[in-house]
Amino acid sequence: MRERANSSILLRHINLPIYIIGRPLVHKAITSIFCSKRGFIAQQSGATIILVAIMLPLLIAGMALSVDVARLYLVQTKAQNALDNAMLGSVATETSVPNVIAEATRLFNANFPSGYMGSTIPAGINVVESPTNVFTGAITVSVPTSILKPITRRTVFNPNSQVTRGFQNSTQNLEMAVAIDTSTAMNTTKLGNVRIGINTMLNNLFGAATTSNNINVSIVPFTNAVNIGAGREAWIQPGIHRSLYSALSRVQPGRLGNVSNRNQDGPRNNLNDFSNVLPTTAAGQFRVPRNAFGGGAARDTLFNRVSQIAFALNSRTALNTILSGLSCNGNALRANVGLMWGWFTLSPTWQGVWGAPTTKPAAASSTLRKSLVLVVSGRNNVFLGNGTTISNDDTSTGTLCTLIKSQGIRIYVVAYNTAANLNTAMLSTCASSASDYYLVNTPAEVTSAFTSISSVSSGPTVRLTR
């Protein structure tokens, strides 16, 4: 036990001087290794050089790659924006796919300079319309590369843009009246072509929808009169006019109710034909046409064939059914009568008077467009009023056109005949602008006119959908 104790004491005595002497030596050694000019840290300068030598090419490659990526991003963004704008502009103004392609190409080139940042367009814009009124445009853009050149000399991408035209899912609304001349000046063949043109217009307006809460279209067939239907005796001036209206209405109840204007047929009165005053007052009541004062079955049959006004329909199927039932009857043509009754289907003053929908015609608003399309195929007849006083229907038509346009209603005129057989001077000034007047004489021209009308009418509803 003593020997073990002595050994421990001896060891402690030996370790103490070693600890005292060794600690500075260890400190010096560590300092020499890590902090001297020849130490470990100083030797890292060589490693840094090696690290820089390794990283520098990667940094250069990254910078070069960023140039490729930046160029691609800029070209892709500019091309997509140019294509979107080109599709919106072309679909808003053109109707057929070839015309859309031509106009889209022009607009794209105006917004995407040739050779922009070295890019090329190997082929032109391709446009497909499917379904109706949904136009998809696509283009191929090739962009040169820098660092990626060993892999690929150019990067190719394909921007596309889809534009939908029509009132479906739109905040815009349209109320339209189509006043159609169904006198014998418009023969069966011409009326068939007009029907095709209007159907095309409706297809463009409705787009893929069968019905639309944004569209209401009234069909107003006319000769020298219109058919407002039976049961509206209160709209007719008392006396012989109301009695004749009631008698004619009984030929086929619910279908026949021929009326014309308030004045200009004998005997004359002081009522105003150039007013949208309601027929529920004496000042607004109407007459039956002058040539209805004859008698017999021939007269009844003639008036029975004037189709009734269809008010504010929002179903494409219902509208096409109405159109298919139209026929040409009556020798007399009075465009002023067609205009007048077309106006009454659009004037907010008449809201609820026609029946359902009772909210139509709606009041003017920034999201509502009102259009009246007048379709004629012959000259106005001139009627005698009260003996030798002549009622000039051309003057009446011109006055009504001016008045209707002043109410914010856009008038389109489709004059279907040769110029020699039309009141071209009056009709051309009736339209809201020169571009809203269409002188047509072939089936293709008729369809083109109505297609153009639908394009103008649906312009505000053209929108990007992809």
Residue 24 lies in a domain: no
Q: Is residue 453 part of a domain?
A: yes
For 98-129, how does the pLDDT look when each residue is reduced to its tens digit (9 = 90+)?
Answer: 999 999 999 999 999 988 988 888 888 999 99
- What the block records as the tokens of 399 is 């006055």
In a domain, 373, yes or no: yes
pLDDT tens figures, 295-312 = 555 454 555 567 899 999
Q: Which of 132, 164, 196 is the last residue of a domain?
A: 164
Cα 10 to the center of its chain, rounded Å? 108
Q: Which residue from 329, 332, 306 is spatially nearest to 384, judged by alpha carbons? A: 332
Same domain, 181 and 116: no
Is residue 327, in this structure, part of any structural domain at all? Answer: yes
Considering only residues 47 and 464, tell me which one the structure prediction assigns the higher pLDDT.
464
Q: What is the mean pLDDT of residues 207-221?
A: 90
Domain count, the chain: 2
310 in a structural domain: yes
Residue 287's Cβ-side half-sphere holds a number of Cα atoms within 13 Å equal to 20
pLDDT higher for 42 or 128?
Answer: 128
pLDDT of residue 383: 60
Residue-averaged pLDDT of the chain: 81
**Per residue in 57-71, pLDDT tens?**
666 656 665 666 787
For the whole model, what pTM was predicted? 0.71
User: Quick check: is 2 in a domain?
Assistant: no
Same domain for 412 and 344:
yes
pLDDT for position 414: 98
pLDDT at 6: 41
- Asked if the structure places residue 5 within a domain, the reply is no
Q: Specify whether the CB–CB gap between 148 and 141 falls below 8 A.
A: no
- What share of the chain in percent tops pLDDT 90? 44
Do 153 and 183 lie in a common domain?
no
Q: Based on the fold, state whether residues 232 and 273 are members of the same structural domain.
A: yes
Q: Cα dist. 376→10, 177, 251, 307 in Å?
A: 134, 14, 28, 16
192 and 157 together in one domain: no
- Residue by residue, DSSP assigns 277-344 as --TTSGGG-B---GGGGS-SHHHHHHHHTSPBPEEEE-BHHHHHHHHHT-----S---HHHHHHHHHH
Same domain, yes or no: 157 and 187 = no
Residues of the domain holding 318: 173-464
Number of alpha helices (DSSP H) and beta strands (DSSP E) in the chain: 11, 16
Q: Quick one: pLDDT at residue 53?
A: 65
Per-residue pLDDT reduced to its tens digit, 389-440: 556 788 889 999 999 999 999 999 999 999 999 989 999 999 999 999 999 9
| pLDDT reported for residue 20 | 42
- pLDDT for res 252: 53
338 shares a domain with 201: yes
Rounded average pLDDT over 327-347: 90
Domain of 460, CATH number, reads 3.40.50.410
Least confident segment among 110-119, 255-264, 274-283, 411-420: 255-264
Kindly state whether residue 423 falls inside one of the protein's structural domains. yes
- By the 8 A CB rule, do 409 and 343 touch? yes
- Region 343-371: mean pLDDT is 95
CATH number for 63: 3.30.1300
75 lies in the same domain as 187: no
